Every structure is written in structure tokens, then in C-alpha cells.
Chain A
Amino acid sequence: MNREEEFKKIVAQYCKVSPEDMTGEMKFREDLGFSSLDFMSFLGEIEDTFDVELEEESVLKIFTVGEALELLNGMEAA
């Protein structure tokens, strides 16, 4: 499983959309039904799974699956 697939699998735990049907434009709140806390809890799982440290201030600016993935990939590059 590559990074993106693993990422989407974690997203899918919090919603009813399967990883295959997930697109980058989908908004966590509006399209996937995440509550604000689901989102935080999800990011906590992302940190643990990919061994990265996210900052609360920067994640508050994330609205879509694509933006979250981009942030994660950016951290990998760094």
C-alpha cells in the first residue's frame, strides 16, 4: 500500500466513503461528514501512522482531502 492509499484508508474509518471513491476535492466536513473533533482525532492518527508532527494552527487551514495529503507529502519532503 502506498502513502496515499494508506492515508485514504484512515480517512475512510471516519466516513462512509470508500478509499476508491475519495477525491482530492472532497471536503472533510461537508462531503465526508467529519465533525471538528473527528478531524483532529484523524490527524492524530495520521501523526502516529506516518511519524510526523502537525501543528494545530496549520491544520486549521485544511478543508479538503487533497490539502491534507499535500501537507503530509510536504512534510515528507522536509
Chain B
Amino acid sequence: MNNIRTLWEHCRNDFKGLAAVRWLEKKDVKEISYTGLDEAVTAVRKGLAEAGLSGKHIALIGTSSVFWIESYLAITTGDNVAVPLDANLPAEDLVDLLNRSDSEALFLSPKLKALTETVKAECPKIKNIWFLSEEDDQPCLTQLRASGEGVDDVEGNGEDELATIIFTSGTTGKSKGVMLTQNNLASNVASVQYIVEPGCVLMSVLPIHHAFCLCMDWLKGFSLGAVICINDSFLHMVRNMSIFKPEVMLMVPLMIESIYKRLATADPSVPAQVLAQNVFGGNLRIIFTGGAHLDPFYIGKFREYGVDVLEGYGMSECSPVITSNTPDDHKDGSIGKPLPNVEIRFENDEILVRGSSVMKGYYMMPEETAKTLEDGWLHTGDKGYIDEDGFLFINGRVKNLIILSNGENISPEEIENKISLSPLVAEVIVTGEDNGLTARIYPEKELAEARGMDAAEIRSSIQSFIDEYNVSQPTYRRITALVVRDNPFIRNATSKIIRAKALEDIPA
């Protein structure tokens, strides 16, 4: 059966004595084997059955941890559906997503304990909350594992049943729950053409609730018998590389750009090999990257330090990989060749994808689903072409989404809705510029006049509103620049602001 249960049982049987996960506790390196992780996963799975959770949606809120992945596997190797959420979102957004995903139980990071009361009060469907820890005064994994003792194990979900719902930015200003089946995930893991020896060390630095990290660091890594090391903080990424000494890493372009700054400003008398040892830990051979455009310049530069950067392309809706360069077959500047389980065609230059990794649809959003999926073909919103050697290239977008180089997809409408809550904002357009978000605002002139405000006061008042918004948001959704316009935005015949002309003024 092509499901996560079968995938995981193969890992458990083939890589028994090997280490599965390593992580840091204070400064000590901890480790769990495939066997140890399987025992924990099985115990939690039975505990969920004992709690009456079968065919239910179960959310996870927390950053990467061995407890997070244990719980995720317990949900998806059984008969429930996992809903991973971004732990950095404001409480109101998390409540909204918990409710919209119909989640009935929650695994919560102990760092977010303050959220418990809000969830209890505002998410009536949530019946159980377990903390992602082994010691707590509230229910946590220890009790859940123990509660499953002596309980019959459950079968894994069938391949066409849902495995996970992953939220992604929507162009309508509301994030959408991508429904991925057991087969979607298992076939994506199997189709990425990459093999390492069991015991190969990977270091996971991306957010675990993202499809790229979840499927390619974790599920793919496990399927190869890799040791997956958890980077506990971006603050310590370089330090952690020297501790874990990874051979392979997944990164978004922003990380590659940032590491390059370190390489470029190093003392030129230091030999490349020594510098690579200091910055990459000494064993790094391959970086897989995706999620945003990477300037091929960096690929050449990293090669000088003995590191191959292999770019791929994907989206949550495709579980997520669609194309990838591989160690044996790659071309700089391209995003690789389509996976064997994927077909690609073009419609007005837009890339359309069909295959066993393509999602079932958006959860409870039939209209959005119909717009994106037509006869099994998924509209990616990206424009591109395939060259004579079969490599895919991207050269534009048809949707409004802003893609930052950290791979985060930002829906400008979602942020505009929040900024327009300021009474001084008449019109606002958020644009992605210089790898940050710029708010372009036409102020409410009449109100400003009534309050006797001059241009400087208007700007400062709007800036204060934005500062307040920024504090409540994860860094990638913060506004980094403000432009106050003298004139309204240019509108089309139906009075809609023409987004593509947001940087222009109405001609005199």
C-alpha cells in the first residue's frame, strides 16, 4: 500500500539500530534510533485510538522537535489527519485555522502554553490538548503514550484517504488548507530521485509545518535511513552545522544568500577548504533549495567551497516537489526535470501539473479548488518553459502572491486587509521589493485635514500603526518600508486598483 504507514514500517524494519533523529538539549546532543522512535510513534498512535480519535483532524503547533515528528507520524501512520500550523502566527490566526480545519485535538508546544485558554474558549471542537513534551503538569506525550498500553493498534489510512492538511497563502486574502492524501505524500517521497547511504547526516533548518521541510527533510530523509539533526534556532545555524556536521541540507535561497555574506567577507588569506570547514561544518556536500528564485551566481560560488547547490521547484499543492535537479542530472539556473510521477504542460505560458502528488483540493473551498484544479491539472500560477534538454525554467507569475527569498508566500491582500484597518489609510497596496514588504498607502485626506495633520504627522501616525502591526506578526509578514502617496492608485474600468501599476502615479 502506498501510504505513510508502509513507508514508516520499511524505515523501522530496514534501519533498526541506526539513529533517526539528533537534537540539542542545552549543549548536549541527544539521539533516538529508528526503533526507539517507532516505539514512541506506536504508543502515541494507540493513545489517540484510546482517546476515541479515529478519522479526525488533529493539529500540531510547534517548531521542529522529536516530539513534533513523533506526534505527526502517530497521526498519519494511523487513521487520523494531521494539520500542521505555523507556531509563529498570532493567536487569532491560529484560532481561525484550528476552527476552519475542523481540528478536534491539538499537540501544542509547551512554549505556547499561554494559548491553551484561548483555544479552550474559542475552539469548541478541540476536545484534547497534549503538550509536545515528556514532563508537564498538563497532559503531555507521557500520559498519551501510557494511555495506549494494551490497546489494539489501528490500521493505516488507505492511499486515497487524507493524510494532512497544510495551510498556504491564498490570493483572496484567506489562507487555504491544501488536502494531501496518503498517496500524494508517499509518491512524492518515492519519486524524488535521490539516494544516500543509510546513516547519512541531514540537518533540518526549515520550518517543519512547511511541505518542503516535512516531506523532503523528514519523510524523504527517514525513507533513506538518514539521521535528521534539528537546528534549534536560526541564531545558531552555523554553530549547529559544526556540531552535527551535516552532509546534506535543504535550504531556501535566503539562507544561501546569508551564508554567502559570511563567506564573502571572510579574510581572503583563509583557504577555501578551511573556510568551508568553519562555515559548513566540514562534511556538507549538497544543498537542495527551492521555494523561491535563486540567482545562479550562488551555485557557482558555493561550488568553489565543495558544495553543490541543487535547485528544485514545488508547492504545497504538489506534496510539494514538482521538478528537481539531482546530483547526476542538473543545469544551473533551471529548476530541474519533472519527477517521474509528474506530467507538465503549459497554458498561456502558465505551468500546469498533473500526477500522483497533486492535491485532492482545498479544504472546504470548492470554488478555489475548481479554479486551481481542472480535469486533474493543477494551475501553478507560475510561468515557464522546458528547454531542449528537458529542464524547466520559471520566468514569471500569473498570481498576486509575493514570493520572498525565504520561500514564504505572502498574500498581499491578507496584509492589506490588516493595514487598511487604520482610519488614516484610504488605499493600500503591499508589494514585494528588495526582498521585503513595502506598504504603499494613499492616506484618508479628509480625516487628516479634519485633524489638522500635516504630511509628516500623517506619515508618522501611519508608521506607528504599522509598527504595532509588525510586532504582532512573524518576521516574514512584517512591513519593512512605507511609501505615502500623494495621489490615489490607478484604477481600471471596474474601479479596481491595478496592482501592476502600484508604483506609478496617475498621469497629469
Contacts and interface: CB of A to CB of B under 8 A. Distances in A.
28 contacts: A13-B262, A13-B265, A14-B261, A29-B436, A29-B480, A35-B254, A35-B257, A35-B258, A35-B435, A36-B254, A36-B406, A36-B476, A37-B234, A37-B254, A37-B406, A38-B261, A41-B237, A41-B258, A41-B259, A41-B261, A41-B262, A44-B237, A44-B238, A47-B236, A54-B235, A56-B233, A56-B235, A61-B471
Interface in A19-46: 29-30, 33, 35-38, 40-41, 43-45
B475 interface: yes
A41 B238 contact: yes
B239 A44 contact: yes
Contacts, number: 58
Given A38-B258, A41-B262, 9 more contacts: A14-B265, A29-B436, A35-B406, A36-B254, A38-B261, A40-B234, A44-B239, A54-B235, A56-B235
Interface residues of B, number: 25
A42 B435 CA distance: 18
B324 interface: no
The DSSP consensus for interface residues of chain A is helix
A38 B155 CA distance: 46
Contacts of B239: 44, 48
Interface string B234-277: 11111100000000000000110111011001000000000000
A36 B237 contact: no
Contacts of A30: 480-481
B406 A40 contact: no
B325 interface: no
A59 B254 contact: no
Contacts of B480: 29-30
B406 to A, nearest CB: 7
Residue among A29, A35, A43, A56 having the largest count of chain B Cβ atoms under 10 Å:
A35
B405 interface: yes
A7 to B, nearest CB: 15
Contact-size category for A: 20 to 34
Nearest to A47: B235
A60 interface: yes
A35 B265 CA distance: 16
Contacts of B235: 40-41, 43-44, 47, 54, 56, 59
A32 to B, nearest CB: 12
Nearest to B476: A36
Contacts of B238: 41, 44-45
Contacts of A35: 254, 257-258, 405-406, 435-436
Interface string B199-238: 0000000000000000000000000000000000111111
B23 to A, nearest CB: 16
Nearest to B480: A29
Contacts of A41: 234-235, 237-238, 258-259, 261-262
Contacts of A60: 475
A13 B317 CA distance: 39
Interface string B397-438: 000000001100000000000000000000000000011100
A13 to B, nearest CB: 4
